[in-house]
Structure 1
Amino acid sequence: MPDPASYRPKTGEIPTDPGVYRFRDPHGRVIYVGKAKNLRQRLTSYFQDQRHLTPKTRSMVTTAGSVEWTVVGSEQESLQLEFTWIKEFSPRFNIMFRDDKTYPYLAVTMGEKYPRALVMRGDKRKGTKYFGPFYPAKAVRETLDTVLRVFPVRSCTAGVFNRAERSGRPCLLGYIGKCSAPCVGRVTPEEHRDLANELCDFMGGDGTKFIRQIEGRMKQAVAQLDYESAARHRDDIAALRRVFERNAVVLDEKTDADIFGLEEDDLEAAVQVFHVRGGRIRGQRGWVMEKVEDVTDGQLLEQLLQQVYGDMEDADRMPREVLVPVQPDDQEALTGWLSGLRGAKVDVRVPQRGAKRELAQTVQENARQALALHKTRRAGDVTVRSAGLQQIQDALDLPEPPLRMEGYDNSHVSGTNVVGSMVVFEDGLPKKSDYRRFTVKGEAARDDTSSMYDVISRRFQHYLEELAGESELVSGEVDAEEKAPARFSYPPSLVVVDGGPPQVAAAQQALADLGITDISVVGLAKRLEEVWVPGDDFPVILPRNSEGLFLLQRLRDESHRFAITFHRERRGKSMIQSLLDDVPGLGASKRAALLKHFGSVKKMRAASLEELQQVKGVGPTLAAAVLSALSDESA
């Protein structure tokens, strides 16, 4: 465990300017990012007597191996740089608001040629507009079904759309009037995009305008004695009003605001937000986060608003007002930053009286209940993970709990398409961004032990190369543009392979041949769930109901799943290639075009001669040869 005094910079070397700082662990990983109006004053506070630090701050400074900083020109610049670094490095000790992904959204994929309306969870995809979130999930599906009557935007998948486009026949929604059927040319791409824009305007709160327009059309139809059209317009108005009825009017119809509530204790905090558009509550979201250091409520709100609005690609979704329970610490810098993102003024304030104050109290009550519910659900979870890591440490006689574990497995069928997988658990939870896949070829693919040796050797060869390429960690000023270290440069505390003594021996030999002696290796055999340690004649037996064994099983099973998934992908591609290898005139590019068009051998085999000829470069003769090769194989 590093001693903070070993990397403490000299006080006189630290500038008194505003800036952003980073703490790194001994392996170079950024573990904490912070900003300060006065870097010297802020950084020296971390190196005081450890007895005066909060437990998590003490854990952070004793985990770190260096500290570095970047001076900026203003507090607003430090706010932007801090957000950029937190997003880039995902530091484990930073306050991270974990969004509740159970809330569904109505999304419109405006980035596509033919925008699609659908239900999505999370706010991730570029070029997509989101409306909501909705609760319960049934509400968003009913809303989508209702608005498609008035705004018949495409809602089908790419596969359904392409199939209708090829056949010249629309799907059921096109026949019943809930899709304008751009797939068969009933509307042009421009007309369909106009429909999608109108849907977005309506869902964005501009519904009164559309209702008045349809009312005008209904009156005009009645005047012309076109009662059938008038009845259709009447039903459209009723449908749009049903959508509005789901959202209670709580404020003046001109009010666009996000109202936040915050509830916290010494360890965690819960946040709730109501999205009010046009005076109506359009959605609700919730976050729960773990507090790392002793921060004020104002600092918590500031970091929350950074994460909520920093990734928002659609500035139109940002409201004119942001109502918060307490004033953020850097009020002026935060307001300026948000206004810059929106392109217009954003008012961040605490409501003092009236309807907005009453609604803010309701949001606060939701936050209080959310924290209570979270604690009920997580109390056992945190304890269980900690107990599992401790049990593994004790059973394997490790110097410290294995906070980072890597699991490895191989997959093949009779020695063909051999692949390997690497999965990562940090603090007992999967870290999917660090997963890796390996293709095993040549002599390394002859058996399981050779494959394991190859995968482990390649993974840790990357580690040694990246370690050798890194400069020595020092405390001092750094460039704001510096990138994160490569993923392979983070070594695990424990390597877990799927198998018994042979696989463990192969993994241990791979590490030894690379000169790595400080990483522990074990194997988990499936039959009796025994834990095998290199060089031991007898396995370590963990109790069947122990949390440590359960954690190792999860890691092993996840590596097995990841390897199987990769193997199936490769096997599917190689199967198509082997079936079509002998077809005269069918080269690699045309095979790839066929695979891209049909997606699988099964669909290709079911295709007609005419459908095969729709693929670029495939004529009647070649299509007949492909069908013959596929039919011979199925027979």
Structure 2
Amino acid sequence: MADPSSYRPAPGSIPTDPGVYRFFDAFGHVIYVGKAKNLRQRLNSYFADPAALHFRTQTMVRTAAKVEWTVVATELEALQLEYTWIQQFDPRFNVKYRDDKSYPWLAVTMGEEFPRVFVGRGAKKRGTRYFGPFGQAWAIRETVDLLLRVFPMRSCTQGVFNRARSSGRACLLGDIGKCSAPCVGRISPEEHRAVAEDFCSFMGGNTGGIIGRIEREMYNASAALNFERAAVLRDSLVALNRVREKNSVVLRDGLRADIVGLADDGTQVSVQVFHVVDGRILGERGWIADRSDDRPLTELLEAFLEQLYSEDQEVPPHVLASVEAEDTLVEHLTQRRGGTVTVKVPLRGEKRALLDTAVRNAELALQQAKLKRATDLSTRSTALAEIAEALSLDEPPLRIECYDISHTMGTEVVGSMVVFEDGLPRKSEYRRFIIKSFEGSNDVAAISEVLGRRLRRLVDERSSDVRVDATTGEAARFSYAPALIVVDGGQPQVNAAAAVLADAGLTDEIALCGLAKRMEEVWLPGEDYPLILPRASEGLYLLQRLRDEAHRFAITHHRSRRAKTVVESVLDGVPGLGEMRRKALLKYFGSMRKLRQATVEEIAEVPGFGPTLAAAVKAAVEDTGGEAINLTTGEVTEI
């Protein structure tokens, strides 16, 4: 890899104008394209301290051999040129959104003499009109089957069409009225194209116009006593209305828009798009991309919309997104469409509700992608191997323990230990720790106490002759030493944990590292600088899952204790109210607000309570005011 300083432009040579820059590798290939309001400011950031750069950015500048730039007049021109070059060069370090699954399209081959309708997947072709994509292939096939009764256009392959034309015999679809049989001359090419145009018009959202026209033809046929024709048109109306029912109205103002919801977890970004035509969802699609750097969601939205509205995707008049868009992006889309385009974030009403649904779908897609990575055997093996290589371990750590601390302003300090074996959580071996030896927000001391208690138990069980639990007959679980211990925190927490390992004489047996949240840095004992794993690394992803699971387990325990402490402080001193009856109150009423609003008679309905005790509880909760306590989560809010 090249040293970035070897091709860094001379100081003062980079202009301060807006423009677009390209990084090239040693073979002259473009590996990254970017735009900037100020070229000098942006490019200088790439040649700063490499340790301060995102890992992917570090890799890019070290892979590159030179950088060039082009000055433009405005930010809008920079955006347009960046879009053009990304399409032209396909740089490997630019963010690329990929479909999280393969979606079916409804296609009409308008470029052929006799247009054909079919459901397919994959890349689009020139001369074909596309609708969708759709969530389920079977659903759009049912829709096509209904529409062919109304618009009997060709749906057969070219081979079937040629055989029917050469034999002079129509296929079954022609005999049952689902095809106008242009192959045998029952309809002219012009008439068949008109049928195909009506099909596309209906799928494009002109449902009212098509249905209105067929209704008029039905009434005219009935008035002319052509009842057979009127009956056929009536059946066509029934079929069209059934198709409309499949795509229920979501926006009553008949809006045509794309609804774009984004979800981000710091390592990946998920996007869900609903294509709304005439107020109905006619298509949906999802993408997932690996985070290339720490850019805000506004810039990720810009990159996504540039990819979405490529040459074969029409820009709608409205885009409703979950994040704000830059004015230059709106101008760019307006020019691409040839008409006004608005990009905004709805705050209320049915549009906001639909946007929330898109965001929720994006979050679920992100969760499914994580679950797929977590449960895949080869992925887990890769993650463990990457951790072993990064930490210089002799073999992959098959048992990993992670520790976290939770407290509220230094009170109710608790610790958690979660266990992953072979990359999967072993929940039966999770442990919670209550820390009473000190008060205050001292995570370093808390980590020392929690880890010290766990390692002392490990040493004691190893030295004991009794290695089997007398009650269950199982081996003492704490006697199994982890191959790796992960603590939630940076250098101070890791050094404290290293001291505990040294005191227990286990430094050579158990590896140790810490994971800091801010930059996802991996800290090793005695090191002054952290280890930076690639953002898309499976090893880093596994460490993040460990850390997040330990945090979840700790905060759940902390909330339950906090709720219990708050309730005990409120009800402290009530005569006859012991621990069992307090638990009964916790189970019967979900929050202090509900307990405070309850009458004496309602409190007396709690098992073990009578009128006298209920009156005493009512008096105690009425003396406390101004706060509502959720007895499940421990959340305290003002009333």
Other-structure match for 1:189: 189
Report the Cα offset of residue 56 of structure 1: 1.5
Q: How do 1:183-582 and structure 2 match up within 5 A?
A: 183-312=183-312, 315=314, 318-328=315-325, 331-379=326-374, 380=376
The list of structure 1 runs, each at least 4 consecutive aligned residues, that deviate by more than 4 angstroms after superposition, is: 379-392
For residues 50 and 161 of structure 2, the distance between their equivalents in structure 1, rounded to whole angstroms, comes to 63
Q: Which residue identity does 1:212 align to in structure 2?
A: G
1:134 and 1:282 in contact (8 A); partners too: yes
Report the Cα offset of residue 69 of structure 1: 1.6
Q: When the two structures are aligned, how many residues end up with a matched partner?
A: 389
Give CA-to-partner distance per residue, 1:333-365, whole Å, 9 cap, x none: 211221122221111111122111111111111
Other-structure match for 2:146: 146
Decide whether aligned partners of structure 1 residues 327 and 94 sit closer, same or farther in structure 2, where only a CA change above 3 A counts: same
Other-structure match for 1:26: 26
Is 2:52 the counterpart of 1:52? yes
For residues 242 and 218 of structure 1, the distance between their equivalents in structure 2, rounded to whole angstroms, comes to 18
* SS of structure 2 residue aligned to 1:156: coil
For residues 2 and 107 of structure 1, the distance between their equivalents in structure 2, rounded to whole angstroms, comes to 48
* SS of structure 1 residue aligned to 2:12: helix
Aligned-residue sequence identity (percent) comes to 55
For residues 214 and 228 of structure 1, the distance between their equivalents in structure 2, rounded to whole angstroms, comes to 14
Decide whether aligned partners of structure 1 residues 358 and 151 sit closer, same or farther in structure 2, where only a CA change above 3 A counts: same
Give the TM-score of the pair, scaled to structure 1.
0.58
Decide whether aligned partners of structure 1 residues 137 and 391 sit closer, same or farther in structure 2, where only a CA change above 3 A counts: farther
Q: Which residue identity does 2:160 align to in structure 1?
A: V
Report the Cα offset of residue 209 of structure 1: 1.2
1:7 and 1:66 in contact (8 A); partners too: yes
1:260 and 1:363 in contact (8 A); partners too: yes
* SS of structure 2 residue aligned to 1:65: strand
For residues 153 and 295 of structure 2, the distance between their equivalents in structure 1, rounded to whole angstroms, comes to 47
* SS of structure 1 residue aligned to 2:316: coil
Give CA-to-partner distance per residue, 1:113-157, whole Å, 9 cap, x none: 221111021452112111122222110111111111111111111
Note the residue ranges of structure 2 that are not aligned, 5 or more in a row: 390-537, 539-639
1:123 and 1:130 in contact (8 A); partners too: no
For residues 95 and 112 of structure 1, the distance between their equivalents in structure 2, rounded to whole angstroms, comes to 36
Q: Which residue identity does 1:156 align to in structure 2?
A: C
Other-structure match for 1:502: none
* SS of structure 2 residue aligned to 1:11: coil
Report the Cα offset of residue 218 of structure 1: 1.9
Q: After alignment, is 69-78 or 104-113 more displaced?
A: 69-78
2:100 and 2:365 in contact (8 A); partners too: no
Q: Which residue identity does 2:319 align to in structure 1?
A: V
Give CA-to-partner distance per residue, 1:35-68, whole Å, 9 cap, x none: 1111111111011011211122112212222212
- Return the structure number with greater relative CO, CA threshold 8 A, min gap 6: 1
For residues 197 and 84 of structure 1, the distance between their equivalents in structure 2, rounded to whole angstroms, comes to 33
Decide whether aligned partners of structure 1 residues 89 and 77 sit closer, same or farther in structure 2, where only a CA change above 3 A counts: same
For residues 110 and 101 of structure 1, the distance between their equivalents in structure 2, rounded to whole angstroms, comes to 27
For residues 250 and 265 of structure 1, the distance between their equivalents in structure 2, rounded to whole angstroms, comes to 29
2:124 and 2:312 in contact (8 A); partners too: no
For residues 26 and 189 of structure 1, the distance between their equivalents in structure 2, rounded to whole angstroms, comes to 56
* SS of structure 2 residue aligned to 1:276: strand
For residues 306 and 22 of structure 1, the distance between their equivalents in structure 2, rounded to whole angstroms, comes to 18
1:11 and 1:44 in contact (8 A); partners too: no
Report the Cα offset of residue 390 of structure 1: 11
Q: Which residue identity does 2:347 align to in structure 1?
A: Q
Q: After alignment, is 78-87 or 137-146 more displaced?
A: 78-87
2:101 and 2:286 in contact (8 A); partners too: no
Q: Which residue identity does 1:252 align to in structure 2?
A: R
Give CA-to-partner distance per residue, 1:175-204, whole Å, 9 cap, x none: 221112222222222222211111111001
Decide whether aligned partners of structure 1 residues 217 and 384 sit closer, same or farther in structure 2, where only a CA change above 3 A counts: farther
* SS of structure 2 residue aligned to 1:186: coil
Q: Which residue identity does 2:317 align to in structure 1?
A: R
For residues 170 and 227 of structure 1, the distance between their equivalents in structure 2, rounded to whole angstroms, comes to 27
Q: Which residue identity does 2:351 align to in structure 1?
A: K
Q: Which residue identity does 1:136 align to in structure 2?
A: Q
1:253 and 1:280 in contact (8 A); partners too: no
* SS of structure 1 residue aligned to 2:359: helix
Give the TM-score of the pair, scaled to structure 2.
0.58
Which structure's CA Rg is the greater one?
A: 2
CA RMSD between the two structures: 2.3
Q: Which residue identity does 1:363 align to in structure 2?
A: A
Q: Which residue identity does 1:75 align to in structure 2?
A: E
Other-structure match for 1:67: 67
